[in-house]
Structure 1
Amino acid sequence: MRIITLNTNGIRSAERKGFFAWMQQQDADVVCIQETKAQLHQLPADPFHPANYHCFYHDAEKKGYSGVALYCKKAPDKVISGIGWADFDREGRFIEAQFGKLSVISLYLPSGSSSEERQAVKFNVMERFAPYLQARIQEGRDLIICGDWNIAHKEIDLKNWRGNVKNSGFLPKERAWLSQLFADGQWWDAFRLVNPEAEQYTWWSNRGQAWAKNVGWRIDYQIVSGSLKDKVQAASIYKDQRFSDHAPLLMDYDYP
């Protein structure tokens, strides 16, 4: 089973840069998209409902903002749009597809880089999301949560970590939150199960020569429940083409 996740920073922009043509070549079972920045009525069937996929969008109420999507080769048994929190769901940040015992989720956690107010929103979501994840584990489902978590976990996960310890995305409180999530073996950073190497980034600032110099951050994840820890086979970050300020994260699983 192959799953791809990508923050497109605008699905229409990514389409113009060739994303859908590339996607069709990957033979992915599920593709998770974040930051569509579009309303469903703005996305015609061709190309935004790609052939051979069942497509599901969860838009933000605010136009040109946030939004998540799922493209599934197999029709899901159930699709859940939103997590049940009005403030969070208005921003279009969560969509889940269920296939038997398996859930694949496209998640876009808030960024706090634009203001202190948005950082407070981010911390509030984190505070609520931790017990939500604990509750999901108790369901006994196999879970894969894909997306832009807007946190680089460890020093290895961004180039200039020393200069970013006071910046959103690498704050001690954010990193400790992820460490706590992984502490008891109920959740795993699937990428790091198979790739321990440095300079494995998924996002680069558009400022300066960040992309050209590979001055990046790894903030896009596929986080899996402990039941899937031994099912992770391979991981790669695709950088031969640039569809966004993020790069697609591709992962293969021995599942079912």
Structure 2
Amino acid sequence: MDAAPLRVASFNVNGIRAAQRRGFEAWLAQRRPDVVGLQEMRCTPEQVPAGVFDGYHVAFHPGGLAGRNGVALLTTVAPSAIRMGFGHRSDPEGRYVEADLDLPGLALRVGSVYVPKGATWAGPDADPAKYRRKASFLASLGAHLRRSRLEAAASGREFLVMGDFNIAPTRADLRNWRSNQRSEGFLPQEREWFASILGPRTLHDVVRRLHPDAEGPYSWWSWLGQSFARDVGWRIDHQLATPGLARRALAAGVDRASSPEARMSDHAPVVVDYAVPSSG
């Protein structure tokens, strides 16, 4: 008999204290994920609202930039190992945390990542330094994902990396793709990098695997104007899993708020349920 599905959520909270005021704790209690990857915590461990993560083990890499970045993993079982960063010069910024989990029926290595937004390389908004910074981060991240995935496989673990990649991989992943072809997040180089880390034997884009023909589902909308009301969004938050785990995905989607006023963040949680065999 199969056990209850493993629910995994990834959420850029855009400040956990602000998200808490907007309903994060109620969402967490209602959805009850087993594993949660959070990005843009934007606080120190001492500033996390009291009780917000009750019932979870917390692996938190706050970084050293006050009020910026910070990633975390919430898990219902204690990790057997935690790693912060992956050997890139951005490690002190708090952009990657990884843990090994021995869940009922599943040995898993999981990472939460917050990729820099970057910038375009041409036009009035060009910022070559930011563009190069993101490119450097992606090159190092790609090498780490390969290395960590292989290490996980050697120890009998599936591998999952989730978070805010700040990349919409295809035209189906943002509403206004025609006008954004020179915008950060949809640059050809960024999309080529994203495609390079996916493959039949490497990592699968789990949401796209279950929704191959859908527009979106989008996970980010600007706070400005009518972007959310008109669903003018981007799919930049992803769960990427090794083939064995990806095949177990039962349902995947985005917890889009019912109204602009009900939003917890400018992002929405990306939630996937995975079938896990009973350990008994």
Q: Work out whether the TM-score is over 0.5.
A: yes
CA distance in 2, matches of 1:160, 1:44: 37
* Cα deviation 1:210-247 (Å, max 9, x = unaligned): 11110000000000112322111110211134110000
| Aligned-pair CA distance for 1:126 | 1.2
1:194 aligned residue: 210
User: Any conservation in 1 of the 2:220–2:235 contact (CA below 8 Å)?
Assistant: yes
Higher mean C-alpha deviation, range 230-239 or range 111-120: 111-120
Higher mean C-alpha deviation, range 160-169 or range 198-207: 198-207
Say which SS state the counterpart of residue 80 (structure 1) adopts: strand
Aligned residue pairs, count: 253
Q: Structure 1's 136 and 92: CA in aligned 2 closer, same or farther, altered over 3 A?
A: same
Instruction: Look up the equivalent residue of 1:52 and give its one-letter code.
Output: G
Question: Structure 2, unaligned stretches of length 5 or more?
Answer: 1-5, 120-124
Give the superposed CA RMSD.
1.5
Question: After the TM superposition, which residues 1-256 of structure 1 pair with which residues of structure 2 at under 5 Å, given as runs?
Answer: 1-47=6-52, 50-85=53-88, 87-100=89-102, 101-113=107-119, 115-139=127-151, 140=153, 141-196=157-212, 197-240=214-257, 241-256=262-277
| Aligned-pair CA distance for 1:130 | 1.8
Q: Structure 1's 2 and 214: CA in aligned 2 closer, same or farther, altered over 3 A?
A: same
| Aligned-pair CA distance for 1:173 | 0.5
CA distance in 1, matches of 2:143, 2:78: 29
Say which SS state the counterpart of residue 182 (structure 1) adopts: coil
Higher mean C-alpha deviation, range 136-145 or range 120-129: 136-145
Residue identity (%): 38
User: Any conservation in 1 of the 2:60–2:72 contact (CA below 8 Å)?
Assistant: yes
| Aligned-pair CA distance for 1:149 | 0.4
CA distance in 2, matches of 1:244, 1:17: 8
User: Any conservation in 1 of the 2:85–2:94 contact (CA below 8 Å)?
Assistant: yes
Instruction: Look up the equivalent residue of 2:276 and give its one-letter code.
Output: Y
Say which SS state the counterpart of residue 203 (structure 1) adopts: coil
CA distance in 1, matches of 2:74, 2:148: 22
Question: Structure 1, unaligned stretches of length 5 or more?
Answer: none
Structure 1 residue runs of 4 or more that deviate by more than 3 Å after TM superposition: none
CA distance in 2, matches of 1:18, 1:116: 38
* Cα deviation 1:77-99 (Å, max 9, x = unaligned): 122122233x2211101111211
Q: Structure 1's 2 and 168: CA in aligned 2 closer, same or farther, altered over 3 A?
A: same
